[in-house]
Structure 1
Amino acid sequence: MITKTPHIITEKGIEYQLGELKDNLIKYDFDKILNYLNVKGKLLFGDSFKIYNEDEVILYKLCIYFIQDSEACKKQNIDVDKGILLTGPVGCGKTSLMKLLRHIVPHHKSYKIIPCRNTVFSFNHLGYKTIEDYGNDKFYCFDDLGVEPSGRHYGKDCNVMGEILLSRYDLFLKSKIKTHCTTNLNAQELEIRYGNRVRSRMRQLFNLIAFDKESKDKRI
């Protein structure tokens, strides 16, 4: 359903205004977005959720991307047409942020979060139909890229996520269909895992947004 006030989001009867609407354009306020994310995060993940000051640089980049602020994105070398590859250490909050950020733009086409290990389990059961099924016009965020097991169906091995990324790359070229991913691996590790061909296409598919490698584990 299209809302006439996409800059105002209601949670449990309380309205959160993320910016000002003028001439069908929203001028977002980053502090108001952070306030809403803090509220929504607690609703999604429990009262222990909090926005960490050290993550605000990452959050700013993600927010300007999701609200499609092309001017601000250009200054940060972010291409609004590409997807997001969010990298960082285990437990730094990548998955939570990708689950959370989509809620600030309820008027935009959303994406489904798919654990990469689930795609392999599906492949092992259904075979190449799994890869075909992800070659559609839906938006996905593949979670925990690079730590999924290898696929095997009727005795044949397959690098399932590598094949899916190649399919998603073709979709991107043809229709600008976006794909997002989270990963604990760095660029070199991704190339070892998926090969140079996939890594090369990932550069064209994704904007790389990276947590500091010293980011603490927030799940401890």
Structure 2
Amino acid sequence: MVNPCEIIEGGVSYHIGKIKGKKVCYDFQKMLEYLEIKGKLLFREFKIYPEDEALLFKLCNYIIADVEQCEKFKIDPGKGLLLSGPVGCGKTSVLKLLRHLVPHQKSYQVIPSRNIVFSFNHLGYKTIEDYGNAGYLCMDDLGVEPMGRYYGRDCNVVGEILLSRYELFLNHKVRTHASTNLNAEELEERYGNRVRSRMRKLFNLVAFDKNSADKRK
């Protein structure tokens, strides 16, 4: 039987909680310790800052689907995450790390939105079909990607993929995650009211503080 509280990394076991009867009890401090270790393995230079711990507590409870805590934070564990915040605050790193807390669950791939558009420019509408209709996906840096262009025709590639993934979510409960530097008004300007309306149903909006420092400096 898989123990969801035990993560084996390089032959070392990390216990991020305990099983009590039929209940899984996660330990947030141990989850933070593991995230910092995993972050250093993945990114070399990585640190969890005290000012981000409240946000990480919310995100950790989302990813382990703690119903009581999710209800407290008004988060729907059945929906995806839209993680927003200033440039360099750590959105991408956090989204890449969260999936490692639940290795027993189906993982999602993290793809820069601009790369999706570059793929469209090369392969055309097959890209929209591929990213829109299957798989667990996290689109990084939503809203700053260029407009797609294939055989002389412009296309708002990511907007079309979001519409397709909304249908995927409705019909098959497949979640979509994303990160963005933009606010709600800027996203609506980029993708239009129809897509913005679907995004409200696709995502839980979770945000870093607008004054979060650029951790890349």
Shorter-chain TM-score bucket reads over 0.9
Query: Residue 50 of structure 1 aligns to a residue in which SS?
Result: coil
For structure 1, which runs of at least 5 residues remain unmatched after alignment? none
Query: Residue 106 of structure 2 aligns to a residue in which SS?
Result: coil
Is 2:52 aligned against 1:55? Answer: yes
Match of 1:148 among 145, 150, 155: 145
Q: Which amino acid aligns with 2:40?
A: K
Question: Runs of at least 4 residues of structure 1 off by over 3 A?
Answer: none
Mapped partners of 1:216, 1:103: distance in 2? 25
Specify the alignment match of 1:40 in structure 2: 38
For the aligned residue pairs, the C-alpha RMSD in angstroms reads 1.0
Q: Percent identity?
A: 67
TM-score by length of 1: 0.96
Specify the alignment match of 1:23 in structure 2: 21
Q: Is the 8 A contact 2:84 2:206 kept in 1?
A: yes
Is 2:125 aligned against 1:123? Answer: no
Query: Residue 182 of structure 1 aligns to a residue in which SS?
Result: strand
Specify the alignment match of 1:5 in structure 2: 3
Aligned length: 217
Could you say if the C-alpha distance between residues 21 and 85 of structure 1 is closer, same or farther in structure 2, counting changes exceeding 3 Å?
A: same
Mapped partners of 1:129, 1:151: distance in 2? 13
Mapped partners of 2:21, 2:149: distance in 1? 54
Match runs of 1:1-220 below 5 Å:
4-46=2-44, 48-220=45-217
Query: Residue 24 of structure 2 aligns to a residue in which SS?
Result: strand
1:89-135 CA-partner distances (Å, limit 9, x unpaired): 00000000000111010001110011100111111111111001112
Per-residue deviation, 1:12: 2.8
Per-residue deviation, 1:4: 2.1
Q: Is the 8 A contact 2:76 2:204 kept in 1?
A: yes
Mapped partners of 2:172, 2:161: distance in 1? 16
Query: Residue 73 of structure 1 aligns to a residue in which SS?
Result: helix
Per-residue deviation, 1:24: 4.1
Mapped partners of 1:37, 1:120: distance in 2? 31
Query: Residue 134 of structure 1 aligns to a residue in which SS?
Result: helix
Mapped partners of 1:4, 1:131: distance in 2? 35
Mapped partners of 1:145, 1:171: distance in 2? 19
1:60-111 CA-partner distances (Å, limit 9, x unpaired): 1110000010111000000011000000000000000000111010001110
Q: Which amino acid aligns with 1:4?
A: V
Per-residue deviation, 1:136: 2.7
Q: Is the 8 A contact 2:2 2:104 kept in 1?
A: no
